[in-house]
Amino acid sequence: MKYAYHLIVAYLTLHVGWYILREKSFWKQAGAGLVLILFVLRLLLIQ
């Protein structure tokens, strides 16, 4: 269950990262960046 959870969070993290790469508007990138911080913290630190 733990691995499935981490896979889901990893998938969403990559998606947000991919969105930032594709997006041309700086402010939309910045907004997605804020969301990415939460996903990165969840992916790496939540036990």
Partner 1 sequence: MIDGSSFFIFGMVAAVSFFAGRDFVAQRAEEAIMPGPGLTSMRQLSDYFPPLRGTAGDTGIFVFEGAEAGGNVLILGGAHPNEPAGYVSAILLIENVRLARGRLFVVPRANASGFTHGDPQEGAPQRFGIETPQGTRFFRLGSRVTNSIHQWPDPTLYITPTGQKLAGIEARNLNRAYPGLPRGSLTERVAHAVMELIRKERIDLGIDLHESAPEYPVINAIVFHENSSDLAALAQMALQGEGYEFRLEASPQNLRGLSHREWGDAAGIKAVLIETPNASHGRIKGRPSASLVVDGRDPYYVKAAGLGRLFVPFGPEGIPLRHRVARHLAGVEAVLGALSELEPEKAVGLEGLPSAADVEAQGLGAFLRPPRL
DSSP assignment of 4-36, as one string? HHHHHHHHHHHHHHHHHHH---HHHHHHHHHHH
2-21 footprint of partner 1 as x/- string (CB under 8 A): ---------------x--xx
Does 1 bind partner 1 (CB under 8 A)? Our answer is no
Does 46 bind partner 1 (CB under 8 A)? Our answer is yes
Cα–Cα distance, 34 to 27 (Å, whole number): 11
- Residues lying near partner 1 in the complex (CB under 8 A) are found at 17, 20-21, 26, 29-30, 32-33, 36-37, 40-41, 44-47
